[in-house]
Amino acid sequence: MRAALGSTRPLVVRTALVADPGDLLTRLPAAAPHAWIRHGEGLVAWGEAARVSVPPGPGRFDWARDWLSSVFAGAHVDDEAHAPGSGPVAFGSFTFDPASPGSVLVVPRTVLARRDGRAWLTTIGEGRLDEITAPRDPGRISYGDGSLTAPEWEHAVAQAAHRIRSGRLEKAVLARDLTAVAEHPIDVRVLLSRLAGRFPECYTFSCAGLVGATPELLVRRTGETVESLVLAGTTPRGTGPADDAARGAALFASAKDRREHACAIDSVRRTLAPLCAELKIPEEPELLVLPNVQHLASPVTGHLSAGLSVLDVVAALHPTAAVGGTPTRAALQVIRELEGMDRAGYAGPVGWIDSRGDGEWGIALRCAQIEGAHARLFAGCGIMGDSDPAAELAEAQAKFRVMQYALEG
């Protein structure tokens, strides 16, 4: 373990209140930017004071918590903001499958944040404001099949639905990937700016090359208060206001989608109830309308038991039924057998945590893994016993459009 790159000395952290910086994303340098933005508020960061690859395995969240404790312990912190996200912060991305490598935690050298009308700048050691260069458009984009072709994926959906009808499980979430190659190296800042502008209701994120705009808040911890937003049940947007309203009404009335949503809610209830002294879950979902799709959504709030950090709640919640299935073990087995790919960070937890244990973590949806001029896009759908493979493929295509827009503009 290491407290800082090439050093075991305690971190020296300074958080100072600053004037409103305007668009946070325009302050990012090109090299390895980190971000967590919604409605223009949040955190952007760059540089590395510490970084670690989290070993795969069932105890990876405990390992990550212990590593963070060792890095933050003994830090010399001068914090003028005293707010969630001030002082030392770590960004993280965990793979969907605990057995898969690729989970990472990064403590940036510089963090610029805005929240509730205040802004602050956190630096560690020689944290600096790097030179800002103009973002470069990736140019022409060409796409190719990922692990499965569209017909192969439809066949996998049909197999999953058959297993559900046979009584082996109630729901499985199947994902597919799509490859993209750009004319020029992909500047993550271009993607972040497009995503934040088009999908302000979502959480636009960047961590270790995983970039996206997720509508699903896995958990937010602010002191002893925890919040989560459960999404399950989806329909594409309509061709006009009347068609849009009709699609939303059909989604709300759909027995298949309501069952799918109920599975996700039950999963969160079972997980959070033992961790919370009080838990509030609405009796009926609401419609979350995004530019490309509509979701059934249920906001959940709770009063967390003392001593638990946001990462403890992440560990308990992942994987939710919204991205895995019900029951969890049977659904994960179906995913491993039928998807034909490693999800990597897709549908895994992504977000940030500060030294107080506060933080925000989403489920990495509507995202892509970026490496040079290459991108790997992901989309997934909840499969029930009466799922239609062609309809599920169309839903996945609608979800791909988020990152296709980010790449193409």
- 3-state secondary structure string across the chain: CCCECCECCCCEEEEEEECCCCCHHHHCCCCCCEEEEECCEEEEEECCCEEEECCCCCCHHHHHHHHHHHHHCCCEEEECCCCCCCCCEEEEECCCCCCCCCCEEEECCEEEEEECCEEEEEEECCCCCCCCCCCCCCCCEEEEECCCCHHHHHHHHHHHHHHHHCCCCCEEEEEEEEEEEECCCCCHHHHHHHHHHHCCCCEEEEECCEEEEECCEEEEEECCEEEEEEEEEEEECCCCHHHHHHHHHHHHHCHHHHHHHHHHHHHHHHHHHHHEEEEECCCCCEEEECCCEEEEEEEEEEEECCCCCHHHHHHHHCCCCCCCEECHHHHHHHHHHHCCCCCCCCCCEEEEEECCCCEEEEECCCEEEEECCEEEEEEEEEECCCCCHHHHHHHHHHHHHHHHHHHHC
Instruction: Decide if 254 contacts 241 (C-beta within 8 A).
Output: no
Residue of 41, 170, 201, 216 marked catalytic: 216
Give dist(CA 91, CA 317) in Å, integer. Answer: 18
Give catalytic status of residue 216 as yes or no: yes
Residue of 154, 171, 260, 339 marked catalytic: 171
Tell me how crowded residue 84 is: count the other CB atoms within 10 A of its CB: 24
| Alpha-carbon torsion (30, 344, 319, 263), positive or negative | positive
Give catalytic status of residue 280 as yes or no: no
227 exposure class (CB count in 10 Å sphere: 0-12, 13-18, 19+): middle
Provide φ and ψ at 244, rounded to 5°: -60, -50
Q: Which of 385, 409, 229 is nearest to 320 (CA)?
A: 229
Return the active site residues. 171, 216
